[in-house]
Amino acid sequence: MDAQKKCFGKDLSTADLEDIKMIIQRTSASAATDRGINEKGFILLNRLFAEKGRHETTWTILRTFHYTDSLSLRDDFLHPR
């Protein structure tokens, strides 16, 4: 999962990736494919993190993709010099 590497600096094992995809597919069969997870799967995965109290994981992901504490995109990302 490229997002895993970008956000946390390490790859997921194939077994871990398959486990995550299986968990997501239980909620929505179309949210995970052989190629990985789609947008719906990404949202479901973050919902699972929040439900398990892993808020720091969700915030790390959001901050990696330039979101602020108010869940808006950072100005320097929206309006680069």
Q: What is the pLDDT of residue 1?
A: 62
Domains, the chain, with CATH or none? 2-78 (1.10.238.10)
pTM of the model: 0.74
User: Hey, what's the torsion of the CAs at 13, 17, 22, 23, to 10 degrees?
Assistant: 100
Specify whether the CB–CB gap between 11 and 17 falls below 8 A: no
Please check the confidence at residue 34 and state whether its pLDDT lies above 90: no
Q: What is the pLDDT of residue 17?
A: 86
